[in-house]
Amino acid sequence: MARTFTKLGKEITIAARDGGPDPDSNPRLRTLIQQCKKENMPKENIDRAIKKATDKSSEGYKEINYEGYGPHGIAIFVETATDNNMRTVANIRSYFTKFGGTLGTQGSLQFLFDRKACFTVSMKDGIDLDELELELIDFGVEELAKDEEEGTIVIYGDFDQANAMQKYLEENGFEIQSCEFVRIPNDYKELPDDQKEAVQKLIDRIEEDEDVQNVFTNLA
């Protein structure tokens, strides 16, 4: 839970810094606050994260990506939010080295991943997914999937169209549970179980770092 609060707090600070502290005029911040409420994140944590974005005495967080290859040639893309880049890059490099990987240069793996916006919304009675998909095509949506067990619809679309997608969903009465920006590999690499385990050890160690927000790979 603490790890989730830390991650969401950083995302709120960055969203408030980039789009302003007023959720009414900042779609990204508005969705993050809704997500925080679903995670039972205390209001004072949310307020503190927003305040940090406007605090002149605070350097705030920088979003920095790290890219490299893990064991057996698996591509690993790491997104961080850090207030100390020297610390973060040293840590990330040490994880790759210790677990048999190699940290590359920034931008070296971007061609392997497509960046997408991913919305999770609550199911509405009588909704026709095919009709909804047709409606959303003009807003950059590429794929919809229904999760019957969770009672939700997961929507993937163009990263650059995230605000337009969110506006449509809000104006049409959909409850947005979360909005994430994900990196989907163009191709997946299969590995036997013992090799997968070696890669997973590296991924697990990276994800434990407090500066790491997301880790994406092309491991099948």
> Could you tell me if 198 and 160 lie in one domain?
no
* Statement to judge: residues 90 and 176 lie in one domain: no
DSSP string, 62-79: EEEEEEEE-GGG-EEEEE
* Residue 213 DSSP code: E
Whether residues 80 and 118 share a domain: the answer is: no
For tokens 């385990």, what's the residue?
197
Q: Which residues lie across from 81 on neighbouring strands?
A: 63
- What pLDDT is stored for residue 103 in this prediction? 96
Between CA 140 and CA 157 the distance in angstroms is 5
Please report, for the domain that includes residue 31, its CATH number.
1.10.10.200
Alpha-helix residue ranges (DSSP H) falling in 55-192: 85-98, 129-136, 162-171
Q: Which H/E stretch holds residue 193?
A: helix 193-208
Question: Which residues on neighbouring strands pair with residue 214, listed in sequence order?
Answer: 79
Residues 191 and 107 in one domain: yes
Q: Is residue 91 domain-shared with residue 198, that is, in the same domain?
A: yes
Same domain? 46 vs 81: no
Domain end position, chosen among 37, 54, 71: 54
Helix (H) or strand (E) holding 141: strand 141-147
pLDDT in tens, 9-65: 999 999 999 999 999 999 999 999 999 998 999 999 999 999 998 887 556 789 999
Is residue 96 located within the same domain as residue 190? yes
- pLDDT at residue number 57: 59
Could you give the number of structural domains in the chain?
3
Q: CA-to-CA distance for 187 and 191, rounded, in angstroms?
A: 13
Q: How far apart are CA 116 and CA 155, in angstroms?
A: 10
40 and 147 in a single domain? The answer is: no
CATH code assigned at 211: 3.30.70.980
Structural domain span for residue 90: 62-111+186-217
Task: Name the residue among 80, 12, 63, 83 with its Cα closest to residue 42.
Answer: 12
User: Above pLDDT 70, what percent of the chain?
Assistant: 98
146/46 same-domain check: no
* Domain match, 193 and 101 both: yes
Whether 4 shows a pLDDT value over 80: the answer reads yes
pLDDT in tens, 63-75: 999 999 999 999 9
Q: What is the mean pLDDT of residues 193-215?
A: 97
pTM metric for this prediction: 0.92
| pLDDT attached to residue 175 | 94
Query: Is 211 found in the same domain as 107?
Result: yes
Q: Say whether both 159 and 169 belong to one domain.
A: yes
Per-residue pLDDT, 110: 87
The per-residue pLDDT for range 109-163, each reduced to its tens digit, is 989 999 999 999 999 888 888 999 999 998 889 999 999 899 999 999 999 999 9
Q: What is the pLDDT of residues 131-145, one digit of tens each?
A: 999 999 988 899 999
* Residue 1: pLDDT over 80: no
Check whether 185 has a pLDDT greater than 90.
yes
Which two tokens mark 149? Answer: 């067990």
**62 - beta bridge partners?**
82
The residue that leads in pLDDT, 174 or 54, is: 174
The whole-number average pLDDT for the span 92-103 is 97
Evaluate if residue 108 carries a pLDDT over 70: yes
